[in-house]
């Protein structure tokens, strides 16, 4: 059921319901799994209905904040307050964390998860099924689906093949709206902004909720789960503490160990035959599924050279107004609308008719993308970050539209990230030249640290601010995702990742949400028995 607090009242007591804060990937997966298991759920969303054109959307009045080191897009353009949360901005790439990402690494400070790969495996399988991901893996074997494209022979001591798989429908608010609206066990409260969590005697007591008109009301609840995203999860814990630090026995870790995926272009690639790279390293389609081939830094190279996990992609740019107009027209057609200046767009698209026809044939007959010569090809690196307590989220002096302190983010990049991207770039360049595929021209970021830092951006994949650890001395939540020392308060999402590798995080977020749903459902079963 969908309840809009602009026209309805907030209940005073959740009763036996689990209250889930945030309706992104974690919140929707958790709420539906609990509801299907027979538990009653109140799912609180700060924004509006995704089907409502007046919905708050990105939530500029409540998101944003202060970035006091490097610029950080994850504060604003990477967040949305609307049913579906940030998935409404998501392109849908999924992959698992690698086993190495979960293990302690002597060369990466504070690395390692308190969960073994085998403990996550069944939840990855369930998450792939829930998201409608094929479950066919993310490594070299996926090339078999495109036998007309033999993979390049990377030197396996340095580089491996890797893939992400796209969802068919990545906007989970859109995908699951009708199911949420019709579910008897799940009630979605729209325009319900949580201001703080209330605790009493080491246990959860409820929430303070800001209504659309700005008034504040209490919602009594014994079981609360924060699923509001990495930035907001930490901010809510800090807003709930008079000292602004956090809640529970591991409160001093709240907001610390912020990680993202630094993205940096390190080289221009000059292909001898542009088809070789462009045919392989673009989105590939087969059987209604889309794969994105990438190049992974091998575990052997990481260990031997003390590097972080990283991946490389080839960015093919096309300076073709006709093709761009064709893409816009196709996108508008899928959404059953007329694009702005439709006649002008049609005229521009007509200039690229032969190229559009070739691209359509390649896509339909071979599952391949554009076949036109690119104007530029860039090597772009995505790299993980080591957990660093100095990278963090705190409360800012600046206030949001409800008079609450915004988030203040300190996001930096260190020498290990620079070294990882530079070494990997040179290994990719060596292999491209050895294979006779391309020459490579290094960009200033390869030798100038200032140039590297001035061109790096974040991926809006924040993680780590309420890290999972077996004991409160090392993190905010336990392996069961309950806040150390606060009964009935759990956290789920990228914020609980001890380390994030370079993987797109949503598949792992959903896996953890489904794992938490089983624990909360089991708790209810024990209580009823």
- CB atoms < 10 A from the CB of 413, how many? 21
Percentage of the chain surpassing pLDDT 70?
A: 88
Which one, of 274, 436, 267, lies nearest residue 370 by Cα?
274
Give 523's pLDDT tier (boundaries 50, 70, 90): low
pLDDT in tens, 267-315: 999 999 999 999 999 999 998 899 999 999 999 999 999 999 999 999 9
424 phi and psi angles, rounded to 5 deg? -65, -40
Give 473's pLDDT tier (boundaries 50, 70, 90): very high
- Position 61 scores a pLDDT of 82
pLDDT in tens, 317-327: 987 565 665 55
Token look-up 């799994």 returns 33
pLDDT in tens, 336-350: 566 676 666 666 556
Token look-up 């790439």 returns 93
- Position 525 scores a pLDDT of 46
Classified as helix, coil or strand, 258 is coil
- Mean local confidence (pLDDT), 483-488: 98
pLDDT in tens, 118-147: 999 999 999 999 999 999 999 999 999 999
- Position 53 scores a pLDDT of 76
Domains and CATH numbers, the chain: 1-132+167-261+387-412+459-529 (3.50.50.60), 321-373 (no CATH)
73 phi and psi angles, rounded to 5 deg? -70, -20
Residues in the chain: 529
pLDDT for 14 beyond 90: yes
55/236 Cα distance (integer angstroms): 22
Give the mean pLDDT of the chain. Answer: 92
- Position 333 scores a pLDDT of 56
Q: In this structure, are residues 131 and 151 in contact, taking their beta carbons and an 8 Å threshold?
A: no
**Helix runs in 13-62, H state only:** 25-36
Nearest-Å Rg of the Cα atoms of the chain is 24
1/11 Cα distance (integer angstroms): 14
Distances (CA, A) of 20 to 45, 177, 475, 491, 494: 9, 16, 21, 9, 16
Which one, of 73, 66, 62, lies nearest residue 398 by Cα?
66
Token look-up 């030197």 returns 155
Which residues lie below 8 Å from residue 100, measured CB to CB, with a gap of 6+? Answer: 299, 302, 309, 501
The alpha carbon of 67 is separated from its chain's Cα centroid by a whole number of angstroms, namely 19
SS3 content of the chain, % helix, strand, coil (to 5): 35, 25, 45
Q: In this structure, are residues 92 and 166 in contact, taking their beta carbons and an 8 Å threshold?
A: yes
pLDDT for 335 beyond 70: no
- CB atoms < 10 A from the CB of 415, how many? 8
Which one, of 47, 5, 462, 485, lies nearest residue 235 by Cα?
462
Query: Between the CA atoms of 129, 311, 384 and 464, what dihedral angle is there, to the nearest 10 degrees?
Result: -10
């Amino acid at each position: 059921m969908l309840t809009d607090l602009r026209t309805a009242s907030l209940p005073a007591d959740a009763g036996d319901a689990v209250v889930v804060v945030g309706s992104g990937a974690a919140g929707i997966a958790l709420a539906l799994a609990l509801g299907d298991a027979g538990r009653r759920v109140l799912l609180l969303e700060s924004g509006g209905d995704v089907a409502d054109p007046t919905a708050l959307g990105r939530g500029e009045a409540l998101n944003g904040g202060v970035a006091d080191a490097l610029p950080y897009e994850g504060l604003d353009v990477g967040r949305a307050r609307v049913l579906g949360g940030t998935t409404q901005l998501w392109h849908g790439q999924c992959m698992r964390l690698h086993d190495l990402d979960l293990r302690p690494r002597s060369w990466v400070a504070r690395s390692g998860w308190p969960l073994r790969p085998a403990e996550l495996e069944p939840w990855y399988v369930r998450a792939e099924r829930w998201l409608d991901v094929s479950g066919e893996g993310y490594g070299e074997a996926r090339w078999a689906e495109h036998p007309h494209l033999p993979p390049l022979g990377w030197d396996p001591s340095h580089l491996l093949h890797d893939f992400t798989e796209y969802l068919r429908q990545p906007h989970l608010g859109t995908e699951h709206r009708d199911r949420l609206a019709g579910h008897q066990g799940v009630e979605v409260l729209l325009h319900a902004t949580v201001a703080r969590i209330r605790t009493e005697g080491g246990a959860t007591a409820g929430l303070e909720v800001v209504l659309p008109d700005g008034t504040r009301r209490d919602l009594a609840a014994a079981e609360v789960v924060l699923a509001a995203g990495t930035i907001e999860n930490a901010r809510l814990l800090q807003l709930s503490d008079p000292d602004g630090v956090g809640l529970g026995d591991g409160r001093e870790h709240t907001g610390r160990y912020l990680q993202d995926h630094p993205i940096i272009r390190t080289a221009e690639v000059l292909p001898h035959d542009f088809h070789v790279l462009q045919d392989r390293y673009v989105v590939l389609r087969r059987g209604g599924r889309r794969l994105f081939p990438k190049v992974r830094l091998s575990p052997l190279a990481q260990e031997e050279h003390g590097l972080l996990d990283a991946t490389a992609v080839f960015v093919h740019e096309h300076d073709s107004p006709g093709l761009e107009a064709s893409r816009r027209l196709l996108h508008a057609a899928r959404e059953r609308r007329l694009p702005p200046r439709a006649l002008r767009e049609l005229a521009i698209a007509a200039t690229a008719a032969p190229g559009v026809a070739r691209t359509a044939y390649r896509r339909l007959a071979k599952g391949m993308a554009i076949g036109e010569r690119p104007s530029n090809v860039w090597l772009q690196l995505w790299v993980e970050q080591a957990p660093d307590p100095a990278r963090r989220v705190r409360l800012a002096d600046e206030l949001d539209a409800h008079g609450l302190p915004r988030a203040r983010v300190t996001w930096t990049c260190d020498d290990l990230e620079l070294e990882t991207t530079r070494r990997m770039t040179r290994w990719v360049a060596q292999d491209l030249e050895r294979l006779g595929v391309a020459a490579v021209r290094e960009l200033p970021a390869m030798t100038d640290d200032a140039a590297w830092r001035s061109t790096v951006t974040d991926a809006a994949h924040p993680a780590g601010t309420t890290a999972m650890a077996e004991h409160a001395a090392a993190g905010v939540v336990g392996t069961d995702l309950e806040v150390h020392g606060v009964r009935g308060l759990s956290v789920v999402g990228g914020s609980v990742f001890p380390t994030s590798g370079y993987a797109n995080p949503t598949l792992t977020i959903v896996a953890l949400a489904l794992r938490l749903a089983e624990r909360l459902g089991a708790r209810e079963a024990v209580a009823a028995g």
